[in-house]
A and B are shown apart, each in its own frame.
Chain A
Amino acid sequence: MNDTISTSLETVARLGAEAFATTALATDVGPTLRRVSRARVARVAAGAVAAALLVAAVTVGALGFGHRVVTPAGPSATPSPSALGAPVMVVINTGDTGTDIAHTLEDAGVIADADEFIAVAIERDDQTRSIQPGYYELPTGMSAAAAFDALFTVRPTVGSVTIPEGFGEAQIVDRVSQVLDIPAADLEAALADPEAIGLPPEANGNAEGWLGPYTYRFDPDASATEVLAAMVDATVAHLSEAGVPRDQWLRTLTIASLVEREAKLDVDRPKIARVIQNRLDAGMLLELDSTIRYAVGGDDSVFSSADDRQVDSPYNTYLHAGLPPGPIASPGMASIEAAIHPADGTWLYFVTINLVTGETAYATTFPEHQANVEKLRAWILEKQGY
Protein backbone atom coordinates (compact mmCIF):
# COMPACT_ATOMS: atom_id res chain seq x y z
CA MET A 1 0.00 0.00 0.00
CA ASN A 2 1.20 3.48 -0.81
CA ASP A 3 -1.47 5.36 1.00
CA THR A 4 0.72 7.97 2.62
CA ILE A 5 2.29 9.37 -0.51
CA SER A 6 -0.86 8.95 -2.58
CA THR A 7 -3.03 10.68 -0.03
CA SER A 8 -0.48 13.42 0.40
CA LEU A 9 -0.29 14.10 -3.32
CA GLU A 10 -4.07 14.12 -3.54
CA THR A 11 -4.10 16.67 -0.73
CA VAL A 12 -1.64 18.87 -2.62
CA ALA A 13 -3.65 18.48 -5.82
CA ARG A 14 -6.78 19.48 -3.95
CA LEU A 15 -5.06 22.53 -2.44
CA GLY A 16 -3.84 23.48 -5.89
CA ALA A 17 -7.29 22.96 -7.40
CA GLU A 18 -8.79 25.26 -4.81
CA ALA A 19 -6.41 28.01 -5.94
CA PHE A 20 -7.55 27.63 -9.55
CA ALA A 21 -10.37 30.13 -9.04
CA THR A 22 -7.78 32.87 -8.45
CA THR A 23 -6.03 32.34 -11.80
CA ALA A 24 -6.49 34.47 -14.89
CA LEU A 25 -7.40 31.33 -16.79
CA ALA A 26 -10.38 30.65 -14.54
CA THR A 27 -11.53 34.24 -14.86
CA ASP A 28 -11.21 34.60 -18.61
CA VAL A 29 -10.62 31.80 -21.06
CA GLY A 30 -10.60 34.37 -23.91
CA PRO A 31 -6.82 34.74 -24.27
CA THR A 32 -6.41 30.97 -24.44
CA LEU A 33 -9.17 30.71 -27.06
CA ARG A 34 -7.44 33.36 -29.11
CA ARG A 35 -4.09 31.59 -28.91
CA VAL A 36 -5.70 28.38 -30.11
CA SER A 37 -7.59 30.23 -32.79
CA ARG A 38 -4.42 31.82 -34.13
CA ALA A 39 -2.56 28.53 -34.12
CA ARG A 40 -5.44 26.79 -35.89
CA VAL A 41 -5.61 29.38 -38.64
CA ALA A 42 -1.83 29.30 -39.01
CA ARG A 43 -1.88 25.52 -39.32
CA VAL A 44 -4.53 25.62 -41.99
CA ALA A 45 -2.51 28.20 -43.91
CA ALA A 46 0.76 26.31 -43.52
CA GLY A 47 -0.96 23.10 -44.54
CA ALA A 48 -2.30 24.68 -47.70
CA VAL A 49 1.13 26.03 -48.67
CA ALA A 50 2.80 22.72 -47.89
CA ALA A 51 0.24 20.88 -50.00
CA ALA A 52 0.83 23.24 -52.92
CA LEU A 53 4.58 22.74 -52.68
CA LEU A 54 4.13 19.00 -52.46
CA VAL A 55 2.21 19.07 -55.72
CA ALA A 56 5.01 21.14 -57.24
CA ALA A 57 7.63 18.73 -55.97
CA VAL A 58 5.78 15.75 -57.40
CA THR A 59 5.54 17.46 -60.78
CA VAL A 60 9.21 18.34 -60.84
CA GLY A 61 10.04 14.79 -59.82
CA ALA A 62 8.12 13.38 -62.76
CA LEU A 63 9.92 15.70 -65.19
CA GLY A 64 13.23 14.79 -63.69
CA PHE A 65 12.49 11.14 -64.20
CA GLY A 66 11.65 11.68 -67.86
CA HIS A 67 14.86 13.62 -68.25
CA ARG A 68 16.90 10.82 -66.84
CA VAL A 69 15.38 8.31 -69.19
CA VAL A 70 16.76 10.09 -72.24
CA THR A 71 20.12 10.92 -70.73
CA PRO A 72 22.71 8.16 -70.72
CA ALA A 73 23.72 7.40 -67.18
CA GLY A 74 27.19 8.76 -66.52
CA PRO A 75 29.71 6.69 -64.63
CA SER A 76 29.90 9.07 -61.72
CA ALA A 77 26.94 11.32 -61.18
CA THR A 78 27.83 14.20 -58.90
CA PRO A 79 26.48 13.30 -55.49
CA SER A 80 23.89 15.66 -54.13
CA PRO A 81 25.58 18.14 -51.82
CA SER A 82 22.89 17.66 -49.25
CA ALA A 83 19.84 15.59 -48.53
CA LEU A 84 17.62 18.62 -48.12
CA GLY A 85 14.11 18.27 -49.45
CA ALA A 86 11.64 20.61 -51.08
CA PRO A 87 11.12 23.83 -49.12
CA VAL A 88 7.96 24.33 -47.15
CA MET A 89 6.42 27.40 -45.60
CA VAL A 90 6.16 27.46 -41.82
CA VAL A 91 4.51 30.07 -39.64
CA ILE A 92 6.09 31.31 -36.42
CA ASN A 93 3.57 33.23 -34.38
CA THR A 94 4.18 35.86 -31.74
CA GLY A 95 4.44 34.17 -28.37
CA ASP A 96 5.48 30.81 -29.78
CA THR A 97 7.87 29.06 -27.43
CA GLY A 98 10.85 27.03 -28.52
CA THR A 99 8.69 23.96 -27.98
CA ASP A 100 5.92 25.37 -30.18
CA ILE A 101 8.41 26.16 -32.93
CA ALA A 102 9.93 22.69 -32.62
CA HIS A 103 6.55 21.05 -33.14
CA THR A 104 5.71 23.37 -36.02
CA LEU A 105 8.98 22.47 -37.73
CA GLU A 106 8.55 18.77 -37.06
CA ASP A 107 4.99 18.80 -38.39
CA ALA A 108 6.14 20.58 -41.54
CA GLY A 109 8.94 18.05 -42.07
CA VAL A 110 11.69 20.64 -41.71
CA ILE A 111 13.21 18.61 -38.89
CA ALA A 112 12.74 15.01 -37.94
CA ASP A 113 12.70 15.30 -34.18
CA ALA A 114 11.16 18.19 -32.24
CA ASP A 115 13.06 17.13 -29.11
CA GLU A 116 16.42 17.78 -30.75
CA PHE A 117 15.30 21.26 -31.72
CA ILE A 118 14.00 21.90 -28.21
CA ALA A 119 17.40 20.95 -26.84
CA VAL A 120 19.08 23.46 -29.18
CA ALA A 121 16.49 26.11 -28.35
CA ILE A 122 17.12 25.67 -24.64
CA GLU A 123 20.87 25.64 -25.12
CA ARG A 124 20.65 28.93 -27.04
CA ASP A 125 17.89 30.45 -25.00
CA ASP A 126 18.80 34.09 -25.65
CA GLN A 127 18.67 33.57 -29.40
CA THR A 128 15.42 31.63 -29.15
CA ARG A 129 13.78 34.63 -27.59
CA SER A 130 14.80 36.81 -30.54
CA ILE A 131 13.26 34.61 -33.24
CA GLN A 132 10.95 36.87 -35.22
CA PRO A 133 7.39 35.86 -36.01
CA GLY A 134 6.52 35.51 -39.67
CA TYR A 135 6.42 33.12 -42.61
CA TYR A 136 9.67 31.22 -43.15
CA GLU A 137 10.41 29.21 -46.23
CA LEU A 138 12.65 26.38 -45.09
CA PRO A 139 13.90 23.20 -46.75
CA THR A 140 12.72 19.90 -45.36
CA GLY A 141 15.09 17.37 -43.86
CA MET A 142 17.30 19.81 -41.95
CA SER A 143 19.15 19.03 -38.77
CA ALA A 144 17.81 20.68 -35.63
CA ALA A 145 20.83 22.98 -35.37
CA ALA A 146 20.67 23.97 -39.04
CA ALA A 147 16.96 24.70 -38.77
CA PHE A 148 17.60 26.83 -35.71
CA ASP A 149 20.27 28.82 -37.57
CA ALA A 150 17.99 29.14 -40.58
CA LEU A 151 15.45 31.00 -38.47
CA PHE A 152 18.03 33.78 -38.27
CA THR A 153 19.37 33.68 -41.82
CA VAL A 154 16.11 33.20 -43.72
CA ARG A 155 14.28 36.48 -43.94
CA PRO A 156 10.69 35.98 -42.81
CA THR A 157 7.86 37.70 -44.59
CA VAL A 158 5.74 39.51 -42.07
CA GLY A 159 2.70 41.71 -42.17
CA SER A 160 4.00 45.22 -41.62
CA VAL A 161 1.75 48.21 -42.17
CA THR A 162 2.35 51.93 -41.73
CA ILE A 163 -0.53 54.31 -41.07
CA PRO A 164 0.46 57.88 -41.98
CA GLU A 165 -0.44 60.68 -39.60
CA GLY A 166 -3.69 62.40 -40.47
CA PHE A 167 -5.24 59.32 -42.05
CA GLY A 168 -8.95 58.87 -41.37
CA GLU A 169 -10.73 55.67 -40.52
CA ALA A 170 -11.77 54.96 -44.12
CA GLN A 171 -8.22 55.47 -45.39
CA ILE A 172 -6.89 53.20 -42.66
CA VAL A 173 -9.36 50.48 -43.64
CA ASP A 174 -8.19 50.78 -47.26
CA ARG A 175 -4.52 50.67 -46.30
CA VAL A 176 -4.81 47.72 -43.94
CA SER A 177 -7.00 45.84 -46.37
CA GLN A 178 -4.45 46.25 -49.16
CA VAL A 179 -1.26 45.70 -47.21
CA LEU A 180 -2.36 42.91 -44.89
CA ASP A 181 -4.86 41.36 -47.28
CA ILE A 182 -7.71 41.53 -44.79
CA PRO A 183 -11.13 42.07 -46.38
CA ALA A 184 -12.41 45.61 -45.84
CA ALA A 185 -15.75 44.14 -44.79
CA ASP A 186 -14.01 42.30 -41.93
CA LEU A 187 -12.37 45.54 -40.79
CA GLU A 188 -15.66 47.40 -40.93
CA ALA A 189 -17.37 44.63 -39.01
CA ALA A 190 -14.62 44.81 -36.39
CA LEU A 191 -15.03 48.59 -36.15
CA ALA A 192 -18.72 48.01 -35.42
CA ASP A 193 -17.76 46.18 -32.23
CA PRO A 194 -15.95 48.85 -30.18
CA GLU A 195 -15.50 46.59 -27.20
CA ALA A 196 -13.75 43.86 -29.18
CA ILE A 197 -11.15 46.29 -30.51
CA GLY A 198 -10.59 47.72 -27.05
CA LEU A 199 -12.00 51.15 -27.74
CA PRO A 200 -12.30 52.99 -24.42
CA PRO A 201 -15.74 54.30 -23.44
CA GLU A 202 -14.36 57.83 -23.93
CA ALA A 203 -14.45 57.24 -27.70
CA ASN A 204 -18.25 56.94 -27.62
CA GLY A 205 -18.08 53.95 -29.92
CA ASN A 206 -16.35 55.86 -32.73
CA ALA A 207 -12.85 54.66 -33.64
CA GLU A 208 -12.08 57.74 -35.76
CA GLY A 209 -8.87 59.25 -34.41
CA TRP A 210 -8.18 56.34 -32.06
CA LEU A 211 -6.31 54.19 -34.58
CA GLY A 212 -2.74 55.30 -33.92
CA PRO A 213 -0.79 56.39 -37.04
CA TYR A 214 2.29 54.28 -36.50
CA THR A 215 4.05 51.31 -38.08
CA TYR A 216 2.90 47.91 -36.90
CA ARG A 217 4.08 44.35 -37.39
CA PHE A 218 1.47 41.65 -37.32
CA ASP A 219 1.46 37.91 -37.39
CA PRO A 220 0.66 36.55 -40.81
CA ASP A 221 -2.67 35.34 -39.52
CA ALA A 222 -3.68 38.45 -37.57
CA SER A 223 -7.43 39.08 -37.65
CA ALA A 224 -9.17 42.37 -38.40
CA THR A 225 -10.03 42.69 -34.73
CA GLU A 226 -6.44 42.07 -33.62
CA VAL A 227 -5.06 44.63 -36.06
CA LEU A 228 -7.50 47.35 -35.04
CA ALA A 229 -7.13 46.52 -31.35
CA ALA A 230 -3.37 47.02 -31.67
CA MET A 231 -3.94 50.45 -33.20
CA VAL A 232 -6.40 51.52 -30.51
CA ASP A 233 -4.04 50.16 -27.90
CA ALA A 234 -1.17 52.25 -29.31
CA THR A 235 -3.22 55.44 -28.99
CA VAL A 236 -4.43 54.65 -25.48
CA ALA A 237 -0.87 53.77 -24.46
CA HIS A 238 0.41 57.00 -25.92
CA LEU A 239 -2.20 59.12 -24.13
CA SER A 240 -1.47 57.33 -20.86
CA GLU A 241 2.28 57.69 -21.21
CA ALA A 242 1.90 61.36 -22.05
CA GLY A 243 0.11 61.76 -18.71
CA VAL A 244 -3.19 62.89 -20.19
CA PRO A 245 -5.93 62.38 -17.59
CA ARG A 246 -8.55 59.97 -18.80
CA ASP A 247 -11.35 62.52 -18.80
CA GLN A 248 -9.23 64.62 -21.21
CA TRP A 249 -8.52 61.81 -23.70
CA LEU A 250 -11.32 62.62 -26.12
CA ARG A 251 -10.74 66.37 -25.97
CA THR A 252 -6.98 66.01 -26.42
CA LEU A 253 -7.35 63.63 -29.32
CA THR A 254 -9.98 65.82 -30.97
CA ILE A 255 -7.84 68.97 -30.76
CA ALA A 256 -4.80 66.98 -31.88
CA SER A 257 -6.71 65.71 -34.92
CA LEU A 258 -7.64 69.30 -35.87
CA VAL A 259 -4.00 70.31 -35.47
CA GLU A 260 -2.96 67.31 -37.56
CA ARG A 261 -5.24 68.26 -40.44
CA GLU A 262 -4.54 72.01 -40.26
CA ALA A 263 -0.78 72.10 -39.74
CA LYS A 264 1.79 71.28 -42.35
CA LEU A 265 4.94 72.12 -40.40
CA ASP A 266 5.78 70.90 -36.92
CA VAL A 267 6.51 74.46 -35.75
CA ASP A 268 2.88 75.39 -36.38
CA ARG A 269 1.32 72.58 -34.35
CA PRO A 270 1.60 74.18 -30.89
CA LYS A 271 0.55 77.55 -32.32
CA ILE A 272 -2.56 76.17 -34.03
CA ALA A 273 -3.39 74.30 -30.82
CA ARG A 274 -3.14 77.68 -29.07
CA VAL A 275 -5.47 79.34 -31.58
CA ILE A 276 -8.03 76.55 -31.06
CA GLN A 277 -7.76 76.93 -27.30
CA ASN A 278 -8.05 80.74 -27.43
CA ARG A 279 -11.12 80.58 -29.67
CA LEU A 280 -12.77 78.05 -27.39
CA ASP A 281 -11.98 80.23 -24.38
CA ALA A 282 -13.38 83.31 -26.17
CA GLY A 283 -16.55 81.47 -27.15
CA MET A 284 -15.78 81.93 -30.84
CA LEU A 285 -16.70 79.44 -33.55
CA LEU A 286 -13.65 77.44 -34.55
CA GLU A 287 -14.40 77.87 -38.28
CA LEU A 288 -11.86 75.26 -39.34
CA ASP A 289 -12.05 74.13 -42.95
CA SER A 290 -10.69 70.72 -41.99
CA THR A 291 -13.90 70.00 -40.08
CA ILE A 292 -15.97 70.95 -43.15
CA ARG A 293 -13.91 68.60 -45.28
CA TYR A 294 -14.57 65.87 -42.73
CA ALA A 295 -18.30 66.60 -42.59
CA VAL A 296 -18.64 66.72 -46.37
CA GLY A 297 -16.29 63.85 -47.03
CA GLY A 298 -14.21 63.65 -50.15
CA ASP A 299 -10.80 64.98 -51.10
CA ASP A 300 -7.98 66.54 -49.16
CA SER A 301 -8.55 70.07 -50.46
CA VAL A 302 -7.38 72.82 -48.16
CA PHE A 303 -10.34 75.06 -48.79
CA SER A 304 -14.05 74.74 -48.32
CA SER A 305 -16.77 76.33 -50.43
CA ALA A 306 -19.58 78.53 -49.10
CA ASP A 307 -22.02 75.67 -49.80
CA ASP A 308 -19.90 73.21 -47.88
CA ARG A 309 -19.92 75.50 -44.89
CA GLN A 310 -23.69 75.11 -44.68
CA VAL A 311 -23.48 71.36 -44.33
CA ASP A 312 -25.69 70.13 -41.51
CA SER A 313 -23.26 68.21 -39.34
CA PRO A 314 -22.13 68.41 -35.73
CA TYR A 315 -18.62 68.45 -37.20
CA ASN A 316 -19.36 71.75 -39.00
CA THR A 317 -17.45 74.25 -36.84
CA TYR A 318 -18.79 77.16 -38.89
CA LEU A 319 -22.27 76.39 -37.55
CA HIS A 320 -21.65 74.74 -34.19
CA ALA A 321 -19.74 76.22 -31.30
CA GLY A 322 -17.06 74.30 -29.48
CA LEU A 323 -15.11 71.27 -30.57
CA PRO A 324 -16.55 68.72 -32.97
CA PRO A 325 -17.93 65.64 -31.19
CA GLY A 326 -14.78 63.62 -31.84
CA PRO A 327 -11.48 63.47 -33.74
CA ILE A 328 -11.54 63.95 -37.51
CA ALA A 329 -8.38 61.91 -38.21
CA SER A 330 -5.63 59.96 -36.48
CA PRO A 331 -3.23 62.51 -35.01
CA GLY A 332 0.48 61.82 -34.77
CA MET A 333 2.57 62.21 -31.65
CA ALA A 334 3.62 65.79 -32.51
CA SER A 335 0.01 66.91 -32.80
CA ILE A 336 -0.98 65.18 -29.57
CA GLU A 337 1.98 66.84 -27.87
CA ALA A 338 0.85 70.21 -29.27
CA ALA A 339 -2.69 69.64 -28.00
CA ILE A 340 -1.31 68.91 -24.52
CA HIS A 341 1.15 71.81 -24.56
CA PRO A 342 -0.05 74.64 -26.83
CA ALA A 343 2.36 77.52 -27.53
CA ASP A 344 1.97 80.79 -25.61
CA GLY A 345 0.18 83.47 -27.58
CA THR A 346 -2.93 85.60 -27.95
CA TRP A 347 -3.68 84.58 -31.55
CA LEU A 348 -7.25 83.95 -32.64
CA TYR A 349 -6.58 83.55 -36.37
CA PHE A 350 -4.16 81.74 -38.62
CA VAL A 351 -3.82 81.36 -42.34
CA THR A 352 -1.32 79.58 -44.55
CA ILE A 353 0.31 82.24 -46.69
CA ASN A 354 2.52 79.99 -48.80
CA LEU A 355 0.89 76.78 -49.94
CA VAL A 356 4.20 75.27 -51.03
CA THR A 357 6.25 75.79 -47.91
CA GLY A 358 3.23 75.75 -45.60
CA GLU A 359 4.34 79.02 -44.03
CA THR A 360 1.56 80.15 -41.72
CA ALA A 361 0.77 83.62 -40.32
CA TYR A 362 -0.98 84.25 -37.01
CA ALA A 363 -3.09 87.20 -35.91
CA THR A 364 -4.77 88.39 -32.73
CA THR A 365 -7.14 90.87 -34.40
CA PHE A 366 -9.36 90.47 -37.42
CA PRO A 367 -7.71 93.33 -39.40
CA GLU A 368 -4.32 91.70 -38.88
CA HIS A 369 -5.77 88.45 -40.06
CA GLN A 370 -7.24 90.11 -43.17
CA ALA A 371 -3.80 91.46 -43.97
CA ASN A 372 -2.46 87.89 -43.76
CA VAL A 373 -5.22 86.62 -46.01
CA GLU A 374 -4.17 89.28 -48.52
CA LYS A 375 -0.67 87.81 -48.44
CA LEU A 376 -2.13 84.45 -49.37
CA ARG A 377 -4.09 86.00 -52.25
CA ALA A 378 -0.95 87.73 -53.45
CA TRP A 379 0.98 84.47 -53.32
CA ILE A 380 -1.72 82.68 -55.31
CA LEU A 381 -1.79 85.47 -57.92
CA GLU A 382 1.94 85.28 -58.23
CA LYS A 383 1.79 81.52 -58.73
CA GLN A 384 -1.13 81.50 -61.15
CA GLY A 385 -1.66 78.03 -62.36
CA TYR A 386 -0.60 76.46 -59.11
Chain B
Amino acid sequence: MSATKPWARLLEQLVAERGAALFGYAYVLTGDKARAEDLVQDALVRTFRRGRADQGLDAAHAYVKRAIATAFVDSGRRLRARPAISDVEAEPVASDHADDVALALSLHASILTLPPRERACVVLRYLEDLSVAAIAAELGLAEGSVKRYLSDGVGRLRAVHGDFGLSATDLLTGGRSTVPVTPKEGRS
Protein backbone atom coordinates (compact mmCIF):
# COMPACT_ATOMS: atom_id res chain seq x y z
CA MET B 1 0.00 0.00 0.00
CA SER B 2 1.49 3.28 -0.99
CA ALA B 3 0.17 6.27 0.82
CA THR B 4 -0.30 9.56 -0.93
CA LYS B 5 -1.16 12.01 1.82
CA PRO B 6 1.80 13.53 3.68
CA TRP B 7 0.60 12.34 7.07
CA ALA B 8 0.15 8.82 5.72
CA ARG B 9 3.65 8.78 4.28
CA LEU B 10 5.02 10.04 7.58
CA LEU B 11 3.10 7.35 9.47
CA GLU B 12 4.47 4.66 7.19
CA GLN B 13 7.98 5.98 7.56
CA LEU B 14 7.61 6.18 11.33
CA VAL B 15 6.41 2.58 11.57
CA ALA B 16 9.12 1.37 9.21
CA GLU B 17 12.01 3.20 10.86
CA ARG B 18 10.92 3.67 14.46
CA GLY B 19 8.23 1.00 14.83
CA ALA B 20 10.59 -1.42 16.54
CA ALA B 21 11.76 1.23 19.01
CA LEU B 22 8.20 2.31 19.79
CA PHE B 23 7.12 -1.29 20.21
CA GLY B 24 10.08 -2.01 22.49
CA TYR B 25 9.10 0.98 24.59
CA ALA B 26 5.50 -0.19 24.84
CA TYR B 27 6.72 -3.68 25.65
CA VAL B 28 8.76 -2.42 28.59
CA LEU B 29 5.62 -0.73 29.93
CA THR B 30 3.21 -3.60 29.38
CA GLY B 31 5.35 -6.74 29.38
CA ASP B 32 2.89 -8.19 26.88
CA LYS B 33 3.32 -8.23 23.12
CA ALA B 34 -0.36 -8.07 22.22
CA ARG B 35 -0.98 -5.18 24.60
CA ALA B 36 2.16 -3.45 23.39
CA GLU B 37 0.94 -3.67 19.81
CA ASP B 38 -2.49 -2.33 20.73
CA LEU B 39 -0.84 0.48 22.65
CA VAL B 40 1.38 1.46 19.71
CA GLN B 41 -1.51 1.32 17.26
CA ASP B 42 -3.78 3.38 19.49
CA ALA B 43 -0.99 5.87 20.06
CA LEU B 44 -0.39 6.19 16.32
CA VAL B 45 -4.08 6.79 15.70
CA ARG B 46 -4.37 9.28 18.53
CA THR B 47 -1.33 11.19 17.36
CA PHE B 48 -2.00 11.25 13.65
CA ARG B 49 -5.72 11.87 13.69
CA ARG B 50 -5.13 15.34 15.10
CA GLY B 51 -2.38 16.33 12.74
CA ARG B 52 -0.10 16.78 15.73
CA ALA B 53 2.61 14.75 14.18
CA ASP B 54 2.83 16.55 10.87
CA GLN B 55 6.15 18.15 11.70
CA GLY B 56 8.68 15.53 10.84
CA LEU B 57 9.82 12.15 11.99
CA ASP B 58 11.34 13.08 15.34
CA ALA B 59 8.36 15.19 16.35
CA ALA B 60 6.02 12.37 15.38
CA HIS B 61 8.13 9.88 17.29
CA ALA B 62 8.06 12.06 20.41
CA TYR B 63 4.28 12.53 20.19
CA VAL B 64 3.66 8.82 19.73
CA LYS B 65 5.88 8.02 22.70
CA ARG B 66 3.93 10.44 24.82
CA ALA B 67 0.66 8.94 23.58
CA ILE B 68 1.94 5.47 24.47
CA ALA B 69 2.81 6.56 28.00
CA THR B 70 -0.44 8.42 28.62
CA ALA B 71 -2.57 5.69 27.07
CA PHE B 72 -0.75 3.19 29.25
CA VAL B 73 -1.44 5.22 32.38
CA ASP B 74 -5.09 5.61 31.28
CA SER B 75 -5.43 1.92 30.63
CA GLY B 76 -4.10 1.25 34.11
CA ARG B 77 -7.23 2.77 35.58
CA ARG B 78 -9.25 -0.14 34.35
CA LEU B 79 -7.01 -2.67 35.98
CA ARG B 80 -8.98 -3.13 39.15
CA ALA B 81 -7.10 -6.04 40.56
CA ARG B 82 -3.50 -5.10 40.47
CA PRO B 83 -1.09 -7.90 41.03
CA ALA B 84 0.28 -7.60 44.52
CA ILE B 85 3.99 -7.37 44.85
CA SER B 86 5.38 -10.66 46.04
CA ASP B 87 6.82 -11.09 49.48
CA VAL B 88 9.90 -12.96 48.38
CA GLU B 89 13.12 -12.15 50.13
CA ALA B 90 15.33 -9.58 48.58
CA GLU B 91 17.91 -11.31 46.45
CA PRO B 92 21.32 -9.86 46.20
CA VAL B 93 21.91 -8.75 42.64
CA ALA B 94 25.14 -10.22 41.39
CA SER B 95 27.04 -7.61 39.48
CA ASP B 96 29.48 -8.48 36.76
CA HIS B 97 29.03 -12.18 36.35
CA ALA B 98 25.27 -12.28 36.20
CA ASP B 99 23.48 -13.30 33.09
CA ASP B 100 22.42 -9.88 31.89
CA VAL B 101 19.30 -11.04 30.13
CA ALA B 102 18.11 -13.14 33.05
CA LEU B 103 18.66 -10.21 35.36
CA ALA B 104 16.88 -7.86 33.00
CA LEU B 105 13.88 -10.15 32.75
CA SER B 106 13.74 -10.70 36.46
CA LEU B 107 13.90 -6.99 37.13
CA HIS B 108 11.30 -6.37 34.43
CA ALA B 109 9.01 -8.96 35.99
CA SER B 110 9.15 -7.00 39.23
CA ILE B 111 8.54 -3.71 37.47
CA LEU B 112 5.47 -5.27 35.84
CA THR B 113 3.99 -5.81 39.28
CA LEU B 114 4.01 -2.06 39.95
CA PRO B 115 0.77 -0.12 39.46
CA PRO B 116 0.74 1.60 36.05
CA ARG B 117 1.62 5.11 37.23
CA GLU B 118 4.54 3.94 39.34
CA ARG B 119 5.62 1.69 36.51
CA ALA B 120 5.46 4.45 33.92
CA CYS B 121 7.45 6.80 36.16
CA VAL B 122 10.13 4.19 36.82
CA VAL B 123 10.44 3.36 33.12
CA LEU B 124 10.62 7.00 32.09
CA ARG B 125 13.19 7.68 34.78
CA TYR B 126 15.47 4.75 34.05
CA LEU B 127 14.90 3.72 30.47
CA GLU B 128 14.46 7.24 29.16
CA ASP B 129 16.66 8.92 31.76
CA LEU B 130 14.10 11.68 32.22
CA SER B 131 14.08 14.12 35.12
CA VAL B 132 11.14 14.36 37.48
CA ALA B 133 9.96 17.53 35.73
CA ALA B 134 10.17 15.92 32.32
CA ILE B 135 8.24 12.84 33.52
CA ALA B 136 5.56 15.07 34.99
CA ALA B 137 5.21 16.88 31.67
CA GLU B 138 5.22 13.67 29.70
CA LEU B 139 2.50 11.99 31.74
CA GLY B 140 0.51 15.08 32.63
CA LEU B 141 1.08 14.56 36.35
CA ALA B 142 2.18 16.95 39.09
CA GLU B 143 5.89 16.82 39.95
CA GLY B 144 5.05 15.96 43.53
CA SER B 145 3.03 12.97 42.35
CA VAL B 146 5.90 11.81 40.16
CA LYS B 147 8.28 11.99 43.13
CA ARG B 148 5.90 9.93 45.20
CA TYR B 149 5.36 7.34 42.45
CA LEU B 150 9.11 7.06 41.91
CA SER B 151 9.88 6.67 45.60
CA ASP B 152 7.10 4.15 46.10
CA GLY B 153 7.96 2.23 42.96
CA VAL B 154 11.65 2.02 43.64
CA GLY B 155 10.88 1.14 47.24
CA ARG B 156 8.83 -1.83 46.09
CA LEU B 157 11.55 -2.91 43.69
CA ARG B 158 14.11 -2.73 46.48
CA ALA B 159 11.93 -4.98 48.59
CA VAL B 160 12.36 -7.68 45.99
CA HIS B 161 15.69 -7.04 44.39
CA GLY B 162 17.62 -5.26 47.05
CA ASP B 163 19.68 -2.24 46.26
CA PHE B 164 20.64 -2.45 42.62
CA GLY B 165 22.76 0.60 42.54
CA LEU B 166 19.94 3.08 42.93
CA SER B 167 20.83 6.32 44.52
CA ALA B 168 17.87 7.93 46.23
CA THR B 169 19.06 11.44 45.54
CA ASP B 170 19.85 10.77 41.90
CA LEU B 171 16.40 9.24 41.57
CA LEU B 172 14.71 12.55 42.20
CA THR B 173 17.27 15.03 40.95
CA GLY B 174 18.94 13.50 37.91
CA GLY B 175 17.77 12.97 34.39
CA ARG B 176 17.39 14.90 31.19
CA SER B 177 14.62 17.24 30.26
CA THR B 178 13.53 15.97 26.85
CA VAL B 179 12.33 12.64 25.57
CA PRO B 180 14.99 10.86 23.51
CA VAL B 181 13.77 9.67 20.16
CA THR B 182 16.93 9.02 18.23
CA PRO B 183 18.77 5.74 18.68
CA LYS B 184 21.05 5.85 21.68
CA GLU B 185 24.76 6.02 21.05
CA GLY B 186 25.49 4.39 24.34
CA ARG B 187 25.27 5.60 27.86
CA SER B 188 27.96 7.45 29.76
Shortest CB-to-CB span from B90 to chain A, Å, is 14
Query: How distant is the Cα of A259 from the Cα of B114 in the complex, in angstroms?
Result: 64
Q: Which residue on A lies nearest to B12, using beta carbons?
A: A29
Contact B123 A9 (CB under 8 A): yes
Contact B24 A17 (CB under 8 A): yes
Query: How distant is the Cα of A219 from the Cα of B77 in the complex, in angstroms?
Result: 29
Query: How distant is the Cα of A106 from the Cα of B104 in the complex, in angstroms?
Result: 40
Q: Which residue on B lies nearest to A107, using beta carbons?
A: B50
Q: Which residue on A lies nearest to B30, using beta carbons?
A: A16
Contact A16 B23 (CB under 8 A): yes
Majority DSSP secondary structure for residues of A touching B: helix
Shortest CB-to-CB span from B175 to chain A, Å, is 10
Cβ–Cβ < 8 Å partners of A302 in chain B: none
Q: Which residue on B lies nearest to A26, using beta carbons?
A: B19
Give the A-B contact count at a CB cut-off of 8 A: 153
Interface residues of A in 217-239 (CB under 8 A from B): none
Cβ–Cβ < 8 Å partners of A55 in chain B: none
Interface residues of A in 364-378 (CB under 8 A from B): none
Selected contact of B19 from candidates A5, A25, A35, CB within 8 Å: A25
Contact A9 B23 (CB under 8 A): no
A1 within 8 A of B: yes
Query: How distant is the Cα of A119 from the Cα of B77 in the complex, in angstroms?
Result: 7
A18 within 8 A of B: yes
B97 within 8 A of A: no
The interface size of chain A toward B, counting residues with CB under 8 Å, comes to: 46
Contact A6 B129 (CB under 8 A): yes
- Which of the listed residues B28, B44, B51 has the most CB atoms from chain A within 10 Å of its own CB? B28
Binds B, one of A36-44, A204-212, A244-252, A346-354: A36-44
Contact B27 A7 (CB under 8 A): no
A62 within 8 A of B: no
Interface residues of A in 112-153 (CB under 8 A from B): 118-119, 122, 125
Give per-residue flags for A301-345: 1 if the beta carbon is below 8 A from chain B beta carbons, else 0: 000000000000000000000000000000000000000000000
- A29 and B15 in contact (CB under 8 A), knowing A5-B164, A17-B21, A97-B42? yes
Interface residues of A in 19-41 (CB under 8 A from B): 19-26, 28-33, 35-37, 39-40
Shortest CB-to-CB span from B112 to chain A, Å, is 10
26 A-B contacts (beta carbon < 8 Å): A3-B165, A5-B164, A6-B126, A6-B187, A7-B100, A8-B108, A9-B28, A10-B127, A11-B100, A12-B28, A15-B104, A16-B23, A16-B28, A17-B20, A18-B24, A19-B33, A21-B20, A24-B37, A26-B23, A28-B1, A32-B41, A37-B8, A40-B7, A43-B49, A118-B74, A122-B78
Binding site for B on A (CB under 8 A): 1-26, 28-33, 35-37, 39-40, 43, 97, 99-100, 103, 118-119, 122, 125
Binding site for A on B (CB under 8 A): 1, 3, 7-8, 11-12, 15, 19-21, 23-28, 33, 36-37, 40-42, 44-46, 48-51, 71, 74, 77-78, 93, 95, 100-101, 103-105, 107-108, 111, 123, 126-127, 129, 157, 164-167, 170-171, 174, 184, 187
